[in-house]
Structure 1
């Protein structure tokens, strides 16, 4: 969308074309991003480095104990026809040659590329170093750069060094090249990985490990060296404005810059103040990374993921539609894309109503400095609400409607910055708009005056509908501050008094007492004593296993085990339709572990989820549904994994379902526990009611995911991811204490143990979890002493040490007003 500049002078003659680059630079001028501006460290680069490192460690563990799956996939490559092998062989060679040519081009254009040659060298060196470390962790010694001709490479070579180097070199170039070339580089890397497997010089584990090492090396290099920020400088912006026929003076950057864009101020030739928002070549990636990051941390409702031009068009469209709805907005001067930059030019708004507020009102630190209520006329407040009513009647929302985005011009409110706005908004989005503006006004003038103005402007029904969103979790970051927590209850009380509607009662959270922890300790002691008697454990063997352990692997396993909190948080996101922030959900998973030591983990999860989801406008039934869905999906995943493992058991020589003599005693312990649990459920009415309620809720709640195949896939996928992460952690424990099991076998043991432990309603699965894991390990051939040591170590990493942090997480959630 492009709007002709209103009142602008006639377009000036086009500027002469720039001087062409020297001949030796001309070859790369169309591939590399010009005018990259300042460098930055992006969250996406940190994420790439961390994820790549974790996958590389897992691949090294898998390479040391290859299972039937790795052999089966390698067998497929061996059966490919010769013409396909020749094609992949050529592709593998061409990919390496292409990477070398790119390096040469960069070196020949050093004056234009700056630190890029050094970055490529550093990435390649990091890939080589990572490959050497991973190869030693897998017990393969130094990796080979060229394992050999087609079909003659070592079947146990790990990782594929050439794939790691090509991946690191091409991916570190990603922020420096144009978008089509970025996509081509991703394709080259994918072909390299596929070709290495297809021609028989590497198995899937070798390729995955090399790919992860290359990604980690590229991410780490970009974090250390920095990458182009994608934000044009003043000269580029001035040239783009001139191309649009907009002559300006005093072009300058704003002191505060949002993520993913650049804000500039200028004055038109006729004296009008202008605001210019620019999205550069790399703004799409920066905007996407910023959107994810701010959504995870602050639950900011950023503009939807789009190209830079679509971002500009989105805000321009919202501005035009709001103007047609009778809402005063900033003048739209131009919206266009020039020379790779997307620009939105608006008339600069007058100082906002937030500029006279105290430092704690909006967290900005601007204003009078007293942090107290300020004098804003009631007529002004009502006029703002009248504008909001017109906006909502047109089906539009602002997205972050604070007083910082409201200015007064000639006695009329002017709304600005519709970047986070929504077209065809639903009731929940309108209610959140009302809650945000109501809170922002209450911080400035007090809850009573803000509620009175809102009721007079949009009506009591719309104000009452915003009550579920009067929570700190639903507020944008700009409304943070010390006064917010005290202001929100005052607003709720004022709404109840003014409209006669009461907010929903907060969920009652079971507090953990010392008596509960002592009870858990006694259960743990009794369970271990009974287990050691039934299994005839030799504690001397157990202590020898721990004394001779490789604690570096155990430490890695402990760190990996914490990744289940993120997977479980992602599962919670799929069980409700409301958008939830990830970081508080991760803290909630640790809090559930802490509460689960004192009471049933299911009951504790329901209580905590009820209080947490209430902050986002969901009732207690939704929390019960979410917990039931999570438990149901987890059980289904465990059953499927166990069944698949049993079907493949005859092909896995490590699995001995008969087991040694003491396995029957452990199985007896588990069966007795299951029978006693069934008796307890049938005899105790309270437990029976809870079980019946859980089953009915699980059946009813299936409609949440059956309505959306993507949601169902996410629900079962995140549960599978959590199980696989847990299995990786236990695989590390096995490596450190009794290195003999492939990952597939450990996954089977983990799923079976989780399935058995879920049947017994013991707080924290104390004793039952250890028994189930030990029995599974004994079933696959591990001696009882090391099996018990592994089980206890695994439970320490997953169930007993995390609640220590969970106590802090519980206090953090209460302090940040995410739970009661």
Structure 2
């Protein structure tokens, strides 16, 4: 009957808070240990107004109290006959003592006293100053506190925490160490409480029986229908046969304090995540939440649409809350689909909405049929004076439920007959995974196909061209990902931010004509990429919009690792342009394949050209490194050939894809004009970047030939594709600056030139790419 560990919300929160407190104390002690000691000495000197005799007297009295405290707690447990708690009491105390006794030489008592001759030096003071004793006290207080009277617990915690001011006034021990003991003890006690439990886990069944008796329902028997867990404890109650002819049975729901904590956390998360129009006011009290549910049952009962009536709502001992009601009348809707028309179900919902009442949980099990009239139960998510958003959510939920039971065509037709085209069309915008609660989606066999069928049927019967998804959240998953990536970009780019002052000081002396030339030639990248993709797509999309899309592609590629966002955006653009999903994916894969081949060919060509006029030895790894790389490659090939799963993956997944790319290249080789356009476009992409870097170097007075710059640019581009950071931020800058330095370009020229190049080819297109991507979205191009 007790709740499992993973559902004890209050105990989990206590453990989490104690862990955070312990982490803060340990971290602050390690980082600012000297400052702590200096501060504590200064405070002790300022407020230490007691004479040595007075200090020793206070110290002695407090020491006696602290020394006696665990024994008083133990006597209190024995007096209250908490026999099963004695083991937890002893375990918490011993664990806390041992944790602070472990040193590099084994188990020993730490020595943290200052060398002062006028302090009280007794065995009792050693207990008072030893943080292990404080840890043990905090642990046993945490474990036993919930089982003892609140007044005792409050006084004992106040006595324990008094060690901080008393230590500052009269003690020679560092209070920071006692804080460590307090943190360790609280954490150990919270962990033991989670395992052992608290009195809140004891179900007050006697209080529930008395509360129902006060409402005229004398319970003669109770049976557990469902133990406590994610939801309330569910019991069936039978009344005394001599109490008249009223209903004999009742359903008893008992909500523990853990449901209250978990319920509040779920409400708070919904409030943070969803917009105000989508959420109800937060009810941190479980009693208020249960009262709301009972009152909604009464309100719906006045419309003769509630299949249950409340019996009693009461607050019980140890934080439990009672909600007793009569069992749901009638038969479940799935058992009455043959005899109950779907229009009757929608008529019942329309009657609720006429009184501005939303149900919020229109699963099939919450709808029963009583003498041909569909009625509702549950009401945990019902709202009186509901907003338009709640009413539309009701319609969307009932669309899913009735489409699953009656079919999408009949369900949508009945909904339109009752609510009209506009309301159903507006509600159908919520037929998405995000807008539809998980409990409703799990109640149908295949929620995805049911929602898709309902949306298609709404479009068919209302004549709508498309149904725009409703935005119900304050933020989307994509926005969170973009925020994380933005933080990662700033973190990775931080080392180069220190070069910004130097960059701006050098910028005043730069040749702006060369900078403008670099900006102009950097545009060749987008024209070349657009031309290559246009030829790969057989010219089925407009070249102009494809070129504009390449700027947005820069934003998508930079904000995602390895540029996967750019590939996804290109595929989506081609799909919106009329290509099928397979054809669009093939076109993008073909362009990337030719781009890689062209890049390698240009790298070999320019390396050979640069070899005659420049020293490339700094780019050639040593023989040992080459052997290691070759050995690792051969080892990887051997692993793939030996391991059966990897070998099957090579044969079933990788091989067909490679064969498809090779077949596309063979077909492309038979079309010289198209092949020439793709190769020229890919080459223009690479050479445009090289020209932009060369112009940036010339803008700062550098003197390096174009062949050398091309080699450095292609090496930087290779690192950008391999680096895990978005857009290769950090890796590209370091590679370009290092490559230019290897060819004799001074740091005074290389650093500002590379920063200017990255502004022209990366950061400026990123800032322009966001509004362009939004424009493409509005134009339904992506």
How many angstroms apart in 1 are the aligned matches of 2:192 and 2:83?
15
* Structure 2 match to 1:489: 452
* Structure 2 match to 1:405: 366
Structure 2 SS opposite 1:466: helix
Deviation for aligned residue 1:116:
1.3
How many angstroms apart in 1 are the aligned matches of 2:46 and 2:246?
72
Let me know the Cα RMSD of the aligned residues.
5.7
Of residues 218, 221, 226, the one that matches 1:247 is 218
Deviation for aligned residue 1:226:
3.2
Q: How does 1:622-641 map to 2 (within 5 A)?
A: 623=479
Q: How does 1:740-751 map to 2 (within 5 A)?
A: none
* CA contact 2:313–2:324 (8 Å) conserved in 1: yes
* Structure 1 match to 2:437: 475
Whether 1:66 aligns to 2:32 is: yes
Q: Unmatched 5+ residue regions in structure 2? A: 524-547, 557-723, 736-781
Whether 1:347 aligns to 2:326 is: yes
* CA contact 1:193–1:211 (8 Å) conserved in 2: no
Whether 1:437 aligns to 2:398 is: yes
Mark the CA change 1:401 to 1:412 in structure 2 (over 3 Å): closer, same or farther. same
How many angstroms apart in 2 are the aligned matches of 1:88 and 1:691?
73
Deviation for aligned residue 1:256:
6.1
Paired positions, count:
513
* CA contact 1:397–1:425 (8 Å) conserved in 2: yes
How many angstroms apart in 1 are the aligned matches of 2:350 and 2:78?
61
Whether 1:122 aligns to 2:84 is: no
* Structure 1 match to 2:250: 275
How many angstroms apart in 1 are the aligned matches of 2:160 and 2:334?
51
* Structure 2 match to 1:284: 257
Deviation for aligned residue 1:415:
1.7
How many angstroms apart in 1 are the aligned matches of 2:409 and 2:119?
79
Q: How does 1:152-191 map to 2 (within 5 A)?
A: 160-177=131-148
How many angstroms apart in 2 are the aligned matches of 1:83 and 1:351?
79
Whether 1:767 aligns to 2:767 is: no
Whether 1:462 aligns to 2:423 is: yes
* Structure 1 match to 2:79: 109
Mark the CA change 1:48 to 1:390 in structure 2 (over 3 Å): closer, same or farther. same
Q: How does 1:664-743 map to 2 (within 5 A)?
A: none
Name the TM-score, length of structure 2 as normaliser. Answer: 0.52
Q: How does 1:251-330 map to 2 (within 5 A)?
A: 251-255=222-226, 259=230, 261-268=232-239, 269=243, 270-279=245-254, 283-289=256-262, 292=265, 304-324=282-302, 327-330=305-308
> Could you list the per-position Cα deviations for residues 60-112 of structure 1 after superposition, in whole angstroms to 9, with x for gaps in the alignment?
354334267646754674365347998997997698468526522444237x3
* Structure 2 match to 1:578: 473
Structure 2 SS opposite 1:45: helix
Whether 1:331 aligns to 2:309 is: yes
Of residues 196, 201, 204, the one that matches 1:230 is 201
Deviation for aligned residue 1:489:
1.7
* Structure 2 match to 1:712: none
* CA contact 1:38–1:229 (8 Å) conserved in 2: no
Mark the CA change 1:71 to 1:459 in structure 2 (over 3 Å): closer, same or farther. farther
Mark the CA change 1:223 to 1:577 in structure 2 (over 3 Å): closer, same or farther. same
Report which of the two has the higher share of helix.
Answer: 2
* CA contact 1:91–1:192 (8 Å) conserved in 2: no
* Structure 2 match to 1:654: none
How many angstroms apart in 2 are the aligned matches of 1:378 and 1:158?
77
How many angstroms apart in 1 are the aligned matches of 2:506 and 2:409?
59
* CA contact 2:237–2:252 (8 Å) conserved in 1: no
Deviation for aligned residue 1:305:
4.1
How many angstroms apart in 2 are the aligned matches of 1:692 and 1:158?
63
Mark the CA change 1:492 to 1:277 in structure 2 (over 3 Å): closer, same or farther. same
* Structure 2 match to 1:418: 379
Structure 2 SS opposite 1:349: coil
* Structure 2 match to 1:794: none
Q: Unmatched 5+ residue regions in structure 1? A: 1-36, 357-373, 508-575, 581-608, 614-622, 643-662, 695-759, 772-819
* Structure 2 match to 1:375: 337
How many angstroms apart in 2 are the aligned matches of 1:691 and 1:196?
64
Mark the CA change 1:336 to 1:411 in structure 2 (over 3 Å): closer, same or farther. same
Structure 2 SS opposite 1:389: helix
How many angstroms apart in 2 are the aligned matches of 1:441 and 1:471?
16
Deviation for aligned residue 1:217:
0.9
* CA contact 2:96–2:135 (8 Å) conserved in 1: yes
Deviation for aligned residue 1:221:
0.9
Deviation for aligned residue 1:160:
3.6
Whether 1:385 aligns to 2:385 is: no
Deviation for aligned residue 1:493:
1.6
Deviation for aligned residue 1:349:
0.6
Greater RCO (Cα-Cα under 8 Å, separation 6 or more): 1
